[in-house]
Structure 1
Amino acid sequence: MQTDFLVIGSGVAGLTYALNMARKYPEKKVMVLTKTREDETNTKYAQGGVAVVNDLEHDSFEKHIEDTLVAGDGLCNEAVVEIVVREGPQRIREIIDWGARFDRQPDGDFSRGREGGHSEFRVLHHKDITGSEIERTLLEAVYRQPNIELVTHCFVVDLITQHHLGYLVTKSTLDIECYGIYVMNLQTNRIEQIRARITLLATGGCGRVYRSTTNPSIATGDGVAMVYRAKGRIENMEFIQFHPTALYEPGSPSPFLISEAVRGDGAILRNKDGEAFMERYDTRKDLAPRDIAARAIDSEMKRTGTEHVFLDCRHMDMEKFRQHFPNIYEKCKSIGIEAGQDMIPVAPAAHYSCGGIKTDEWGRTSIHNLYACGECASTGLHGANRLASNSLLEAMVFAHRCYIHTVDQIDNTAFREDIPEWNAEGTSAPREMILITQSLKELQQVMSDYVGIVRSNERLSRAMRRLDMLHEETEALYARTIVSPQLCELRNLITVGYLIVKGAAFRHESRGLHYNTDYPYKSKLVQNIIL
C-alpha cells in the first residue's frame, strides 16, 4: 500500500493534520491508522478543557505566556510558548467552525474555567468531557472527507528507514529518512508495508509504563519507542506528569480522573485529619501547578501513612457542580460517594509525558519526512512541567504547523520503491503469553516504585538494572517469536521506561516534575536532556 500522507494516531493532533491535508489536496490520499477503534485516544479522555486567550478585556497573551513559563520551571522554549499562545485563538475558532460546542453563558459568551497555575479564567470546556467533544467533532469532519481513509485495528511495528535497505544508520547519521512503516493488520495478523511520502506521528502518551495511570490501555509510548529505534532524537523523558487528583479505587490500574477544574471551581485538598494542607507547600494553595500539588499529596500520604488524601467539594454549589461535572458526579455516586456530603478520596496517577520526540517549531523530527505532534512530541512548550489544559491547544497549533510545513515539502518528496517485505523467517508463535504479561507487570512495578513522583540515585540505579534484564529477555523473545501487539507494546514500554530512567539519571538537579532527593535543588545549568 502507499499513501501521500500517512497519519499514525486518531486523536486531536492526527485528525487535525489529516483534515487540513485532505482539504488542501483533494486529489491526494490521506491515510489515518489507529491500533484500536478510531475514537479510543488520549484526547477522548481529556476532561478539563483548552486553555486559550480569547477574552482580551480580562486576560492577555502575556499572562498566558508567563503562566506557561512559570509552570515549565525554566525549561520551556520561549519562542514556542509564544507561538502556541498567540496562534491558539485561531485554532480554537477553526475547531468551533468544524462543530465543537464549548459551554457558554446565558449571554452567549464562553464559560471559562480556571485551573492550577493559571492566573486568569481562560479554560474553555464542554462540561467535563471536553476531549470527547473535540474527538467527536474531528471524526465527523473526517467522515465527510472522501480522500481520508481511516484504518482501524492496525498496529505499527516500525518506521522504515535506510536501515531496512541494508545501510548502517546510527545516532550520528545526518540524513535518516522515513519511507513509511511496517504495520500489523490485526484482522489478518500479517505484517504489511505502507509507503508514504510524508509520515506524521500522533501516537499519544506512555502512561501505561506505570502501574496506575489515567491513560487508556493504548498509551504505550509506541511513537517514542519507534523513533528511538530508528535513531531519532528523544528529549526530556524524565518529566512525567502525575495528575494530583485521580479517584482512589484500590486495585484499579486506570483510576478515574477528577479534573483540575474541580479545584479551579473551589474544591479543597485535605489529609486524613481534615486539614487543608496545600498552604504549607505553596502560596497558591490548591491552585498550585501540578508538579507541586502532586508532590504535596505524596508527602502527606507518606507522612500520615495513608494511600490517598481527600478532595472536599461539600461547600460548593452542587447544582452548578452537577452541570459542570456531570460525569465526575455520577462516577463518584456510582461507588457510593455523594460529592455534596462526602469527601472524594484521591491520589496522584501517571498522566502526561512532557518530553518525547524532539521537534522544531514546525513539528519536524530529526528524521527527514517524519513529523510529530501531540503528546508523543517534545516541542519545547511544556518544559519541566505542563501547565493544565495546554495540551489540547498545543496539539491543534502544532498539527496546523506540521500541515503548513508539509505543503512546502510535499513536491520535493517521492515514494521509495525498493522497500523489502517484512521477514518473519525463523520465528514461531509464542508458547507462553505469561512471559509477556508478567514482564509487563514487573516493568510497571519497577517504574512505580523507583521512578515515580520522588526519586533518588539508588532507586534509579536499581530501576536501570531491572530494566536491563527485562530488555534482554524481551529482545530474545522478539527475535524468536512471531510479532504480536502484546509483545510490541511490551517492547515499546521497556524502551520508554529506559528513556525515562536514563533522562532522570542524567539530570543532577530537581526541577519541575523530576524530584531527586540526592539533588533537592535546581542546578544553575539549565538544559534539555537529549537521548
Structure 2
Amino acid sequence: MLATDVLVIGSGISGLSYALKVAQRNPDAKITIVTKADEDESNTKYAQGGVAVVTDFDKDSFKKHIEDTMMAGDYLNDREVVEMVVKEGPKRFKEIIDWGAQFDVNEIGTFDLGKEGGHSENRVVHHKDITGFEIERALLAAIDKLENTTLLAHHHVIDLITEHHVKASEFNQENIQCYGAYVLDIYAKKILKYTAKITLMATGGVGQVYENTTNPVIATGDGIGLAYRAKAEIGNMAFIQFHPTALYSNRSGRLFLISEAVRGFGAKLRTMKDEPFMQDYDEREELASRDIVARAIDDVMKKTGAEFVGLDCRHLDREKFLAHFPNIYEKCLSEGIDLFNQLIPVVPAQHYLCGGINVDKDGQTSIKNLFAVGECTNTGLHGANRLASNSLLEALVYGHNAAVKTAELLEKDDFNYDYLSNVPEWDDEGMRMMDEMVVITYLRKDLQSLMSDLVGIVRSDERLKLAAMQADKIFKSVNELYQFSILSPQLSELRNLVSVAHLIISQSIQQKENRGAFFNKDLEV
C-alpha cells in the first residue's frame, strides 16, 4: 500500500502553493503531488496577463477591486468571498515574491501595473507576458527544496477512493469521505492505490471539451469528472468564459492567447475591412469585460461571414510593446504576422470555467477530507464571469486557506484508519487492452464538435436539447468501452470530458436567465 498524509492532484499554482504551505506547517507530514504530464505542465504555465492585486493604494483600493469583480461577474458572485480574496490578496502575493517569483517594475522601482478588461485601475502585476511561467518556475524550485514532499510526474488519477470502494453496504451518499485515489503510473502502465488522510484536487480547467481553447492539452476536466463520479456537489457549470482574442488558426486544438493586457495597452479591435466596432457594443469598448467583448466579436463574425476579426497594434509604441509582450510579438512573427504593420487575426476561444466543484472558504468540498482549489472549483468569486487575472489570486488565497485547514485536521488526527487500511487494490481482471485508439479519438472529436457547435458563446433551447441527446449517445459508447477495457490515460480523460460536457449542458438547460458569460438567445427579452 502506498500511503501518504496528503495527496495533491495537480502541479499548477493551486496545488504547489498549497503543498508548500502544508509542508511548512507540518514538517513531519508526508506530502505526495501527482501530475499527469511533466511537472511544469499546467494551466498556470500559460497564464500571460498576471495577478490582479491591489498594490498602489494611492490610486487603487480594495473597494474598487471588489466592485470590478462583482460587476464582471454580473453580481452573481458571493460578495463575502470576493471581499475575502481581494483583501487577503496582497499578503498572499507577497509570499510568492518571497518564494522567488519576480515581477516587472518601472523606472521608479514600483510594480509596472497593467490594465485589463473590466478593471477600473491599473492593478495587474506581471512578468512580461509569461507571468504564469515565472510563477510556476518559482514554486517548483521551492517545492524541490522540501524534504517531506514528493512530486510524481506522469501519474494520472483514475478515480477517487470513497467508502463504496471499501464496503458498499456502508456507503452513505449523505456523508461521503475520501481516502485517496487510484493512480495510473503512465510509464509502468500500472494502477496504484494511494491512500491519504487528506486529498486536494487542483486539476485546472476543462478547455479540451471544446475544439478551440487557450488551455493546454492536459485540461480535460479531470478533477470535476473525478468529483462528479464520487458524488460531490458541482455548480455554475453553465458559465464558460471565452477569451475574446486568441490567435486565429485553421487548426483545431490549443490556440495561442493574445493577452487581454494587449488591449489594456491600447490595441483596438477592427473588422477585416479595418473598421472599429466595439463602440457599438459597450461604452468601455475594448476594455469591457470578456463576455461582452467575446459576444461582440462573435456577432461581427456572424454578420460579416468572416472567420476572424483583427486586433490593431499598428499605432502602439514599438519599444514599449516589445518590452512588455516579447513572446506575443515573436509568436505572431513566426506565423507571418508583423503586428506593427498588419492586423492580428483573432477569434474567441474557450478560456476559463467559472464554476466547478463547490467549496467553502477553506476549499473544502461536500466530501469529507477532500479539498479543491483553483479553476476546478466553484468558490463564488467569479459569479457569472471571471474578472481578468483574478484566477491566480484566487488560487493563492484558497491554497493558503486550504493549507491552514489541512494543518488543523492533521493535528487533530481524527481519521478513520480502519477504512484507510482496508482499501482494495484496483481490479482490472478480465479486462482487455485496447488494440486501437481510433475509437477514443473519434469519440473525443465528436464530443468537442458538438460542444463547439451547440454549447458555445451563444446557445439556444434547440441547440442545448440536441447537445444533450448527442452527448448521451457518446456517454453510452464511452461507458461500454470502460466496462471492458484496461484503463488508459486517453480513455480516462474521455470519461472526464463526457462528465464535464453533461454538466455544462444540463446546467445550461437549467439556467433561465442570461447573465455574464451565459447567453441563450431564446431567453432574450
Instruction: Tell me if TM exceeds 0.5.
Output: yes
In the alignment, the residues of structure 1 paired with residue 353 and residue 322 of structure 2 have an alpha-carbon distance, to the nearest angstrom, of 30
Number of aligned residue pairs: give it.
520
In the alignment, the residues of structure 1 paired with residue 434 and residue 315 of structure 2 have an alpha-carbon distance, to the nearest angstrom, of 56
Moved more, 19-28 or 130-139: 19-28
Alpha-carbon shift at residue 167 of structure 1 (Å): 2.3
Alpha-carbon shift at residue 467 of structure 1 (Å): 0.5
**Cα contact 1:88–1:393 (8 A) shared by 2:** yes
Hey, what does 2:437 align to over in structure 1? 433
Amino acid aligned to 1:355: G
Hey, what does 2:423 align to over in structure 1? 419
In the alignment, the residues of structure 2 paired with residue 237 and residue 515 of structure 1 have an alpha-carbon distance, to the nearest angstrom, of 13
Hey, what does 1:332 align to over in structure 2? 332
SS of match in other structure, 1:329: helix
**Cα contact 2:241–2:291 (8 A) shared by 1:** yes
- Taking structure 2 as the reference length, the TM-score comes to 0.98
Stretches of 4+ aligned residues off by more than 3 angstroms? none
**Cα contact 1:32–1:150 (8 A) shared by 2:** yes
Matches within 5 A, 1:89-104: 89-104=90-105
**Cα contact 1:102–1:126 (8 A) shared by 2:** yes
Alpha-carbon shift at residue 432 of structure 1 (Å): 2.6
In the alignment, the residues of structure 2 paired with residue 520 and residue 154 of structure 1 have an alpha-carbon distance, to the nearest angstrom, of 46
Alpha-carbon shift at residue 169 of structure 1 (Å): 8.2
SS of match in other structure, 2:105: coil
Cα RMSD for the two superposed structures: 1.0
Hey, what does 1:480 align to over in structure 2? 484
**Cα contact 2:8–2:199 (8 A) shared by 1:** yes
Amino acid aligned to 2:180: G
**Cα contact 1:428–1:481 (8 A) shared by 2:** yes
**Cα contact 2:176–2:368 (8 A) shared by 1:** yes
Amino acid aligned to 1:284: R
In the alignment, the residues of structure 1 paired with residue 498 and residue 6 of structure 2 have an alpha-carbon distance, to the nearest angstrom, of 29
In the alignment, the residues of structure 2 paired with residue 162 and residue 438 of structure 1 have an alpha-carbon distance, to the nearest angstrom, of 35
Moved more, 444-453 or 337-346: 337-346
Alpha-carbon shift at residue 431 of structure 1 (Å): 2.9
Hey, what does 1:375 align to over in structure 2? 375
**Cα contact 1:183–1:194 (8 A) shared by 2:** yes
Amino acid aligned to 1:438: Y
| Residue identity (%) | 56
The reply on whether 1:408 has 2:408 as its aligned counterpart is yes
SS of match in other structure, 1:442: helix
The reply on whether 1:361 has 2:365 as its aligned counterpart is no
Hey, what does 1:124 align to over in structure 2? 125
Hey, what does 1:65 align to over in structure 2? 66
Alpha-carbon shift at residue 252 of structure 1 (Å): 3.9
The reply on whether 1:290 has 2:328 as its aligned counterpart is no
Matches within 5 A, 1:13-162: 13-162=14-163
Hey, what does 1:460 align to over in structure 2? 464
In the alignment, the residues of structure 1 paired with residue 401 and residue 27 of structure 2 have an alpha-carbon distance, to the nearest angstrom, of 19
Alpha-carbon shift at residue 406 of structure 1 (Å): 1.2
In the alignment, the residues of structure 2 paired with residue 292 and residue 481 of structure 1 have an alpha-carbon distance, to the nearest angstrom, of 44
Cα deviation 1:326-369 (Å, max 9, x = unaligned): 00000001111111111100000011000000001110000000
In the alignment, the residues of structure 1 paired with residue 468 and residue 413 of structure 2 have an alpha-carbon distance, to the nearest angstrom, of 43
Hey, what does 1:528 align to over in structure 2? none
**Cα contact 2:164–2:170 (8 A) shared by 1:** yes
Matches within 5 A, 1:210-229: 210-229=210-229
SS of match in other structure, 1:179: strand
Hey, what does 1:525 align to over in structure 2? none
In the alignment, the residues of structure 2 paired with residue 278 and residue 160 of structure 1 have an alpha-carbon distance, to the nearest angstrom, of 50
Cα deviation 1:23-42 (Å, max 9, x = unaligned): 11112111110001000000
In the alignment, the residues of structure 2 paired with residue 400 and residue 468 of structure 1 have an alpha-carbon distance, to the nearest angstrom, of 39
Cα deviation 1:39-67 (Å, max 9, x = unaligned): 00000000000000011100000000000
Alpha-carbon shift at residue 168 of structure 1 (Å): 5.7
Cα gap change, 1:95/1:120 in structure 2, threshold over 3 Å: closer, same or farther?
Answer: same
**Cα contact 1:272–1:304 (8 A) shared by 2:** no
In the alignment, the residues of structure 1 paired with residue 58 and residue 168 of structure 2 have an alpha-carbon distance, to the nearest angstrom, of 58
Alpha-carbon shift at residue 175 of structure 1 (Å): 1.2
Hey, what does 2:233 align to over in structure 1? 233
SS of match in other structure, 2:253: coil
In the alignment, the residues of structure 2 paired with residue 118 and residue 36 of structure 1 have an alpha-carbon distance, to the nearest angstrom, of 34
The reply on whether 1:506 has 2:507 as its aligned counterpart is no
SS of match in other structure, 1:282: coil
In the alignment, the residues of structure 1 paired with residue 334 and residue 296 of structure 2 have an alpha-carbon distance, to the nearest angstrom, of 28
**Cα contact 1:169–1:231 (8 A) shared by 2:** no
Hey, what does 1:245 align to over in structure 2? 245
Alpha-carbon shift at residue 140 of structure 1 (Å): 0.3
In the alignment, the residues of structure 2 paired with residue 334 and residue 169 of structure 1 have an alpha-carbon distance, to the nearest angstrom, of 59
Structure 2: gaps spanning 5 or more residues: none
In the alignment, the residues of structure 2 paired with residue 196 and residue 133 of structure 1 have an alpha-carbon distance, to the nearest angstrom, of 30
SS of match in other structure, 2:321: helix
Cα deviation 1:497-529 (Å, max 9, x = unaligned): 0000001000012111110011025xxxxxxxx
Moved more, 251-260 or 462-471: 251-260
**Cα contact 1:446–1:463 (8 A) shared by 2:** yes
In the alignment, the residues of structure 1 paired with residue 105 and residue 257 of structure 2 have an alpha-carbon distance, to the nearest angstrom, of 23
Alpha-carbon shift at residue 174 of structure 1 (Å): 2.2
In the alignment, the residues of structure 2 paired with residue 308 and residue 435 of structure 1 have an alpha-carbon distance, to the nearest angstrom, of 32
Amino acid aligned to 1:476: E
**Cα contact 2:214–2:255 (8 A) shared by 1:** yes
Alpha-carbon shift at residue 166 of structure 1 (Å): 2.9
In the alignment, the residues of structure 1 paired with residue 439 and residue 169 of structure 2 have an alpha-carbon distance, to the nearest angstrom, of 32
Structure 1: gaps spanning 5 or more residues: 522-531
SS of match in other structure, 1:112: coil
Hey, what does 1:186 align to over in structure 2? 186
**Cα contact 2:22–2:404 (8 A) shared by 1:** no
Hey, what does 2:452 align to over in structure 1? 448
**Cα contact 2:211–2:252 (8 A) shared by 1:** no
**Cα contact 1:197–1:413 (8 A) shared by 2:** no
In the alignment, the residues of structure 1 paired with residue 159 and residue 462 of structure 2 have an alpha-carbon distance, to the nearest angstrom, of 34
